[in-house]
A and B are shown apart, each in its own frame.
Chain A
Amino acid sequence: MKRTLPLFLTFVVGMFPIFAFFVPHRAVSNLNQQLDTWLVIVAAFALPLGVVNLVGSNIDKIKRKQRGWPYSVVLIAGLCIMAFYGIVGGEQGFHPYFQYMFVNMVSPLQATMFSLLAFYVASAAYRAFRARNIEATVLLAAAIIVMMGRIPFGDMLTGGKMTPISEWIMTKPNAAAQRGIIIGAALGAASMQIRVILGIERTYLGKGQE
């Protein structure tokens, strides 16, 4: 039973969205939406597990005075304060202090991390575009053409030829390669899903294959 029930549930829950994709009847679509709602509920139940783990590991860090333990104090304090004002603020979380902290602390921190991406792109591009062999040289040439095609300076230098060449690279060889990967990935995903639905693949249950 411990083995069969999860597999049976996986089969039913996995097959139903496929069934709903082809059957538009209201009864089916309503049940399908209900499944999505259940997924949110299950995820909500799993969240406390994560929070308990996070708080536990950080309290442990503080107790042992491990390296960087003051950051754990900040983390737990932030978690408690945000959670408190989130709950006090009601369903939408519109307590003014919650809003203040979200707008003035959380959002700038998120934006800071995101903006770091620009520097990482520059360092990754430097490494990728070194002309070490023929393939890397082709990549470098294509990148230069595409970049020049995206700015007016490229067209100014070449009398308007750069944009069409850049567009050709993006819409022909680049799109063709991407579609090849997409078709392969979609088939791989479909095959994996069938394995999971039919109970052939069970590693996600921690029980190994059939």
Chain B
Amino acid sequence: MRFWHVMLLIGLSWLCFTLTPIGWVHAIDIEGLVAQDTPSDGGQSIDLRWTSSSLNRVIILRSTSRDSGFTVIGEAIASDGAYTDFSVVEGKQYFYRLGWLSGEDTVYTSIAGPAVAKSNWFRKHRLNALVTTVLMFVLVVTFVNKAKQGKPLYIRRISGLSAIDEAVGRATEMGKKILYIPGILSLSEIQTIASLSILKHIAKLTAIYGTDIEVPNKDPLVFSAARETVREAYLEAGKPDQYREEMVSYLTYDQFAYAASVTAKMVRERPATNFFIGSFFAESLILAETGQGVGAIQIAGTADIPQLPFFVTACDYTLLGEELFAASAYLSREPVLLGSIKAQDVMKAIIMVVIGTGIVTYAFGSEFIRNLLLSR
């Protein structure tokens, strides 16, 4: 066979392959089509299941009657063996069948159904998360009650929090202001609430020492809450006359406009101390590096993992993750709050044991603990 014969053969084969409609020459083996309500959902969908080894596409047809009215609602790869229909109405009966082209005819499977989408009252696959949540609640309540009974609770030294007094003192000595940035997310973010707790402690210190504090905000809700927090702190410190509305200001809702405004304040007013405590994104390094550039002592705290290296690099002290949430207990030394930290530590120990056991059992071929921890 000459070379051009081979090339012609390859060319014709390719042409036949590309011009052939999907499924035209293929017989598709599909068995056991079943339609049923998706378990543990809000009645939004129906699951279809079947078995097939074919890699061709099949069309999904649906009707509200067994005898007629089937319309195409989607398509799937036959070997996937599954399709979820999200376009159903809760409580309505549906019948399904699959179809594919064989020659010029369309071949259909037998009809599956009726299937009815129903709202469920519990997500079974989240049972593990429910047990963990209940356990956490029980531990917190137990240790808070223990703390209320006067049992002494130990909390380790956190350098970043211990340095707050020193940082406020430095600003007082220098006669310069303190800049407090409560992050850029709203009050629905738990880090922001933790930040407000720390703000209250710092505002009390500034009230006592007579140091100026400024809290520029990005979020209007945080602005209102921060203003209330600082006012309350000055009141509790017995210095309500020293509180000024300008201490807590609103800047803008735009992330980078906020960063530009705060960095400009740093450069113009050269604060002695900067606090970056809360939730931060790309502006974290812009703020922290500018603060570093103007020679301010800087304390940061966030649970946003991608921002931690930036703060660790550019700030004098950084509260890493959980330290931020422990701050209110650490600073106030309230036994009730310390109780919840103790509960958190016990939960951490339980998780460590479970993870450790999971690693060992998985190494010996058991997937029990791994499966136990899986959640959707």
Contacts and interface: CB of A to CB of B under 8 A. Distances in A.
B193 interface: yes
A121 B285 contact: yes
B197 A187 contact: no
Given A24-B120, A43-B220, A116-B286, A187 B344 contact: yes
B136 A209 contact: no
B300 to A, nearest CB: 13
A182 interface: yes
A187 B348 contact: yes
Nearest to B256: A113
Interface string A164-199: 000000000000001001111101111111111010
Interface string B223-260: 11100110110001000000001100111111111011
B83 interface: no
Interface residues of B, number: 91
Interface in B165-199: 186-188, 190-191, 193-194, 196-197
B268 A68 contact: yes
Contacts of B141: 198
Given A109-B257, A124-B289, A128-B313, A23 B351 contact: no
A127 interface: yes
Contacts of B220: 43, 46-47, 49-50
B25 interface: no
B130 A127 contact: no
Contacts of B250: 49-51, 53-54
Contact of B289 (A43, A47, A123): A123
B253 to A, nearest CB: 8
Q: How large is the interface on A (under 10, 10 to 19, 20 to 34, 35 or more residues)?
A: 35 or more
Nearest to B117: A26
Interface in B36-69: 40-44
Where chain B touches its partner, the secondary structure class is helix
Where chain A touches its partner, the secondary structure class is helix
B196 A39 contact: no
Nearest to A79: B252
B286 A184 contact: no
B332 interface: yes
Nearest to A56: B245
B298 to A, nearest CB: 12
A22 B130 contact: yes
Nearest to B230: A206
A203 interface: yes
Contacts of B309: 128
Contact of A194 (B119, B136, B188, B255): B136
B101 interface: no
Nearest to B188: A39
Contacts of A187: 136, 322, 344, 347-348, 351
Q: Lowest 5 CB-CB distances: which A-B pairs, in order? A: A185-B321, A188-B325, A188-B322, A50-B250, A206-B232
25 contacts: A21-B123, A22-B129, A22-B130, A23-B123, A24-B121, A25-B42, A25-B121, A29-B42, A67-B268, A117-B285, A124-B285, A128-B312, A185-B325, A187-B136, A188-B303, A188-B321, A191-B341, A192-B325, A196-B190, A198-B140, A203-B229, A204-B229, A206-B225, A206-B231, A209-B337
